[in-house]
Chains A and B, each alone.
Chain A
Amino acid sequence: MKLEHRTENNVDIVALPNRLVMANAAEARSDLKQVIQQGSGRVVINLSQTEFMDSSGLAVVVAGLQAARKMNGDVHLAHMSDTIRALFELTRLHTVFQIFDDEADAVAAFA
């Protein structure tokens, strides 16, 4: 798996796969970290394709946040489904991420 990735206004926009689970979490984590470390540290994770995420998948997103914050950047999340929002709320992680309905808003929030 290679994560879909493009750059806009010096913000890295990354899409996560349809299912982010234990089976593909290690690979997704290393891909995501690589994108972040080669970029500005300002990252938008687009979750529009992501229907399911387990606890290992959640760790991928948190690892992304930690990598970005080390570079004084941040991770903004966009297009989160209700199921994934419920997971973020259950684990209280919605309190550490900025979450946007729209990718453009998530990018613009870095300006």
Chain B
Amino acid sequence: MPEPDRTRDDAPNSGRVQRASMLTQTLQVLVIDDAPDVRIYVRALLRKWGYEAVLASNGAEGLERMRQGGIRLVICDWMMDGMSGPEVCAAIRREDFGHYVYVMLLTGRTEDTDLVYGLDSGADDFVGKPFDAQVLRARLQVGVRILGLEETLAEQNRRLQEHHDELDRAYTQIQNDLAAAARIQRESLPVSDDSIAPLCAGWLFLPAAKISGDSFHFFPVSQEEVGFYHLDVSGHGIPAALLSTSLSRSLVPHTGVGTPAGDYLVPADFLTTLNHELCSPDGEVTNYATVVYGVLDKYTGEGRLASAGHPQPMLLRSDGSVESLTAGGLPVGMFEAAQYEAQRFRLYPGDRLITYSDGITDCFNADGQAFDIDHFQSLLVRHRHCTAAEMAEELRRSVTAWRGETEFEDDISVLVIERQAD
């Protein structure tokens, strides 16, 4: 066996071969052949065509050289001592060089079965021996083209991966922002019913998409009276939640123990003011909301409320009967001229006032059946001996089971205010 010829051809590039644009550096071609004369002849040709030749006298040595990197094109003899050409091919395919390696087998064989064997072992092309230099040159160019395609593809994949990573980061960011928005929104909901004692309250809040267009609250408006509202901003998701959150912040009085002024005591005026604020100056509906606002005397149970396109509040009497309150006026934010009227009601000891958004009655199960108002009322009646908080929990359990695995299509919220039995 001759000493392996490891001579590198350091003077490449005759300039006569047009390289694929992807190859910024001279392409290294590894020639594996046990015949020194063939190695030297091929090296001369490669040098002439502008490639850099790397020589190896057997398969093992060639593979070892490849592991050092930089080799993307291999010309390998078929019949060699040690590993045969197809065995070298198979070995190349088993290893991961981090890029594709284009392998051409030099062979005197032309039998179809040999070609199949060579292809199966992983060869890309064949050049018959004795070879015509021009055929070898043309075949090399095919290899270079294919490597160029592979590189383009790898580049595209890399860019796609970059875009994918960018989208991934943006998505994570949005998810984090939504979670933060949901926290802010929950902060604008009640945390306890201490402020309205001796009344009690329970509530249910299940947003459709993490954040919700629904909101509700209760707060003292005078020594005796508490105010409460239930709001459903049209649409859902981020825009509805933004408006809902900003509205709920403006609706809850921030005067502390003091008495909030005027509108808080007069539900119809409260809605009229809200309507003017939401109606857009150009007279076209942009954001609208359905809302109930009312006040309730903590000690006598006397109350009055006004509704703007909102599902009718219900009175659940201690004897299990249910009364629906006024249907009210148009949603706020649609028509500047909309008018509202308050309806009086009275909670007797053991009665509850229930306000809700249409998300619960329009909640569909897997069979396409709505939760609907009758079902809702029957649950209220069945759980009338529970506290307001327990009742809300029962409703949460029922509606969640009703919906099953799928996310809620619309925000679900229910507020139960209870005048405790004596």
Interface residues of chain B: helix, strand, loop or mixed (majority): loop
Nearest-CB distance from A1 to chain B (Å)?
A: 18
CA distance A78 to B234 in the complex (A): 24
Nearest-CB distance from A94 to chain B (Å)?
A: 10
CA distance A70 to B328 in the complex (A): 26
A93 with B330: CB separation less than 8 A = yes
Q: Which of A30-70 contact B (CB under 8 A)?
A: 54-56, 58-59, 62-63, 66-67, 70
> A22-B236, A55-B235, A59-B234 are contacts. A92–B330 as well, Cβ < 8 Å?
yes
B283 with A70: CB separation less than 8 A = yes
The interface of chain A, by Cβ under 8 A from chain B, is 22, 54-56, 58-59, 62-63, 66-67, 70, 89-93, 95-96
> A63-B284, A66-B284, A66-B285 are contacts. A90–B358 as well, Cβ < 8 Å?
yes
Interface 0/1 of B280-317, CB less than 8 Å to A: 00011100101000000000000000000101000000
> A55-B234, A58-B234 are contacts. A92–B284 as well, Cβ < 8 Å?
no
B334 close to chain A: CB less than 8 A: yes
Nearest-CB distance from A33 to chain B (Å)?
A: 9
B181 close to chain A: CB less than 8 A: no
A91 with B284: CB separation less than 8 A = no
Which of B290, B328, B334, B358 has most A Cβ within 10 Å? Answer: B334
Contact of A96 among B232, B335, B358, B410 (CB under 8 A): B335
CA distance A95 to B335 in the complex (A): 12
Contact of B285 among A22, A54, A59 (CB under 8 A): A59
Total cross-chain contacts (CB, 8 A): 48
The interface of chain B, by Cβ under 8 A from chain A, is 232, 234-237, 283-285, 288, 290, 309, 311, 327-331, 334-335, 358, 410
A56 with B330: CB separation less than 8 A = no
Q: For B235, what are the chain A residues with a Cβ–Cβ distance below 8 Å?
A: 22, 54-56
CA distance A97 to B331 in the complex (A): 14
Q: For A55, what are the chain B residues with a Cβ–Cβ distance below 8 Å?
A: 232, 234-235, 288, 290
CA distance A96 to B329 in the complex (A): 11
A91 with B283: CB separation less than 8 A = no
Contact of A92 among B236, B283, B329 (CB under 8 A): B329
A91 with B285: CB separation less than 8 A = no
Contact of B309 among A54, A67, A70, A90 (CB under 8 A): A90
What would 11 A/B residue contacts be, using CB atoms closer than 8 Å?
Answer: A22-B236, A55-B234, A59-B288, A90-B327, A90-B358, A91-B290, A91-B331, A92-B331, A95-B330, A96-B330, A96-B335
